[in-house]
A = this chain, B = another copy of it.
Amino acid sequence: MAADVLTVSHVAKRFGAVTALRDVNLRLAAGEVLGLIGDNGAGKSTLIKILSGFHQPDSGTLSLDGVEVSLRSVDHARSLGIDCVYQDLALVNELSVYHNMFLNRELVRWPLLRNRSMRTLAAQHLADMGVSVPSVDVEVAKLSGGQRQAIAVARSVYSSARILLLDEPLAAMGAKEGALILDLVRRLRDRGDVSIIIIAHNYAQILEVCDRVNLLQHGEISYDVPRSRTSVQELTDLVVAEYRQAKHRQSDTSGG
């Protein structure tokens, strides 16, 4: 089995009174695609943002290739080969499609931007993903929900990251565009030089591309299973069982 590129040990994160992560332990093997699932508000995005250097954990450690690191910033994480698609997409409405697609990764002939090259590449990447936009020159404020998401996904997927973190990359994508992006992820996996964590609520999609699935519950990874040993049904049951318990707890504590 391949060595772990990323290990997360005992990571915790609180926001004021809210404990988003309590004690997360997770590992990502080289070339692996890991699916991360969990309820709304379970802390998936928070975990991803810690891995991308955006948040700093309150406690716990991260290791890259077995070496402990402390990610100071997104830029730092990116310099170590970690790239991320955020759930909120992180697009700048005022900028064009192609500038967004190359944001903070611009092609330059110093000191000037190489706009023509970026424009061409942007159009090509969108075509690969089956997404059509009116023009790559248009401001992203004017795009549809799916078009916006495609730009955010393209930004990371076409970077040369070693570790890709995808937070609900398919949420707004059409059936066709979603399938094409999954194809892309599969191609990346087959190339073998990138490891991926992908969050999605559509378990069918998860099982289509992932090697392994982790379930985040109560601030920790409560279930870790290879694709071959689970199914959409099992995952759904797991989540709903959790729901029943929650309902139970809630009726116990209601009125407080």
A40 touches B201 (CB 8 A): no
Bitwise, A144-178 to B at CB < 8 A (1) or not (0) is 11110010000000000000000010011111111
Q: Does A198 contact B (CB under 8 A)?
A: no
**Which residues, 168 to 200 on A, are CB-close (under 8 Å) to B?**
168, 171-179
A146 touches B41 (CB 8 A): yes
Chain B residue numbers with a CB within 8 Å of A211 are none
Q: Output the least CB separation between A112 and chain B (Å).
A: 26
Q: Does A133 contact B (CB under 8 A)?
A: yes
From B40, B131, B144, give the contact of A131 (CB < 8 A): B40
Question: Which segment, of A1-9, A22-30, A76-84, A239-247, faces chain B?
Answer: A239-247
Tell me the bound Cα distance from A146 to B87 in angstroms.
10
Q: Which residues of A contact B (CB under 8 A)?
A: 15, 17-18, 37-42, 44-45, 87-88, 127, 130-134, 142-147, 150, 168, 171-179, 201-204, 235-236, 239-240, 242-243, 246, 250
